[in-house]
Amino acid sequence: ATSTNHEGDVLDLITSLKRTPSPGIQYITGPNNITPAIRLTDSQRVVVLPDAVSAKAQRFLRENIDITFLATLKQEIGDSGSILSLSTGINRILEIESSGRRNEVRFYYTHDQKIQIETFPYKLADNHWHKLALSLSATDLTLFVDCEQIYRRVILTLDTNFKADKISLFLGQRNREYAHFRGALQDVKIVTKSHGYLIQCPHQDTSCPTCAQHQHLQKMYEKMQSDIQDLNKKLLQAEERLLKVEQSPCHYCIYNDTMKKEGERWSPNKCTVCICKNTSVVCKHRDCSVVDCRNPVYRDCCKPASDNCCIMDNNEYYNPGEKFQKSNCFYCACDNASIVCNQTSCPELNCSKDSRIYIDGECCPICNGTNFCALDHNCHVNATCVNLTTRYICQCKSGFHGNGTHCKDIDECVSVGGKHGHHCNGNTVCVNTIGSYRCQCANKMGDYGEDDSSGSCEGSSLSSKLSKSVILLSLCLKLWLML
């Protein structure tokens, strides 16, 4: 894991000593009155941090590519000594050293298990307080002195998986015997975050990303590029599958991870009906037909129609617009949930009350012996009005059929015999007439001649010839007498 964009961890080495009494160490007041400072004088001293602190420092190096070493120091003139060092035995693994003899700041590190060195010409051993920051971001190494950037280098990759069994973290010396620092140290820290030198110099410029941040952004960009390529590939595969589905004669839909056949209908709930149509699921609200007021059973999803229904005192329902007879003389209708009734007006009778007849189900009485056919009737022209005691009826005349108010001529020539068929024999032809029919005989020319009521047509040809002969003889006799 990298610590490029988080608060990071800070390991304070002097505070980690916990003011343990040791020869050659004197606690003093440094430029920062809040944190402790130490003076290192005796070359026989051994200032080594606890194993837990050393292990934490190694973990910082192993898990972070942005790391900064900070120190506020005052070194004696001409002194050469180590500020901090990770060592195993007499071999150093990582070290920051200040040489007053050559006026150099040196950074030792391991790459491929070999010691590498970066040298920065600068005089720190002048017996004055200085702020030193060595910031490492991936392979970018920057040296700050008194909040000013002095050098910037690109180095090899540090070894962070150390294979030595016992690694110790020393303060103010390389190991137990060499490179003892003479002077004072304060705020010696290892920081694991981008621009870690801001702890020492909070007003330092941080407008540009560190090398580690740049590498992190580059990896994120490469990962996004790879993700986009994968998404494009999956999208193309999905489009190909969709195209195959659309071209397939067996269309289907997917609804809640369930396959539905083309044209299949289903109800996901009581109020919704869905159908698979052209590989798409189409859902709509269930159709609510008008509910009959006489049978008011409503569905869960449909609004009851009782708002426009009419109800009588006996809890009998009527549909909107329905007409009914409340009593013999009252006719009612259901109008927008209201019942509107009208009373029948009876005509005035010219007979005594004793002569009046009351008919069941009728409002108005009638006079006994009334000729209903004479008053008014709606019988057909080819029907006969028949007067009864309380009413009249219409009967179609012979040769017609119907209900009396409408009568239609019967074509007797269509059928033979019976009540509505003709009775002509084989020598005649049936000719239909309004309300009846006639039988016609055929002459020699194939035409139909005179009628024959008997239907036999026997001797009709001889009688015709005799009649014509008598007529001719009469005409000839008249002409002869005139001469």
Query: Are 125 and 256 members of one domain?
Result: no
- Residue-number span of the structural domain to which 50 is assigned: 10-200
Say what the pLDDT of residue 338 is: 86
Say what the pLDDT of residue 450 is: 46
Give the predicted TM-score (pTM) of the model: 0.46
Is residue 170 a part of any domain in this protein? yes
Question: Tokens representing 165?
Answer: 């069994």
CATH of the domain at 174: 2.60.120.200
Query: Are 124 and 263 members of one domain?
Result: no
Last residue of a domain, one of 323, 343, 363: 343
Is residue 305 a part of any domain in this protein? no
Output phi, psi for 196, to 5 deg.
-65, -20
Query: Are 275 and 314 members of one domain?
Result: no
Q: Which of 3, 338, 396 is nearest to 196 (CA)?
A: 3
Query: Are 142 and 270 members of one domain?
Result: no
Q: CA 98, CA 145: separation in Å to the nearest integer? A: 12
Say what the pLDDT of residue 5 is: 40
Query: Are 51 and 193 members of one domain?
Result: yes
Say what the pLDDT of residue 140 is: 92
Q: CA 39, CA 30: separation in Å to the nearest integer? A: 10
Q: CA 69, CA 141: separation in Å to the nearest integer? A: 11
Question: Tokens representing 388?
Answer: 């009864």
CATH of the domain at 265: 2.10.70.10
Last residue of a domain, one of 285, 301, 334: 285
Is residue 468 a part of any domain in this protein? no
Taking the CB of residue 217, how many other CB atoms lie within 10 A of it? 13
CATH of the domain at 331: 2.10.70
End-to-end CA distance of the chain: 159
Is residue 103 a part of any domain in this protein? yes
Query: Are 104 and 152 members of one domain?
Result: yes
Domain total of the chain: 4
Look up tokens 């910031």; give the residue.
Answer: 135
| 271 DSSP β-pair partners | none
**Cβ pair 223, 73 in contact under 8 A:** no
Taking the CB of residue 201, how many other CB atoms lie within 10 A of it? 16
Q: CA 237, CA 249: separation in Å to the nearest integer? A: 20
Residue ranges in the chain modelled with pLDDT below 70 = 1-8, 206-216, 244-250, 288-292, 294-307, 442-483
Q: 379-429, pLDDT tens digit by residue? A: 999 999 999 988 899 999 999 999 999 999 999 999 998 888 899 987 889
Q: CA 439, CA 448: separation in Å to the nearest integer? A: 10
Say what the pLDDT of residue 469 is: 57
Query: Are 82 and 172 members of one domain?
Result: yes
**Cβ pair 410, 394 in contact under 8 A:** no
Query: Are 278 and 146 members of one domain?
Result: no
Is residue 78 a part of any domain in this protein? yes
Query: Are 430 and 331 members of one domain?
Result: no
Say what the pLDDT of residue 444 is: 43
Query: Are 62 and 121 members of one domain?
Result: yes
Is residue 421 a part of any domain in this protein? yes
DSSP state of 422: B
Query: Are 122 and 266 members of one domain?
Result: no
Say what the pLDDT of residue 446 is: 41
| 422 DSSP β-pair partners | 416
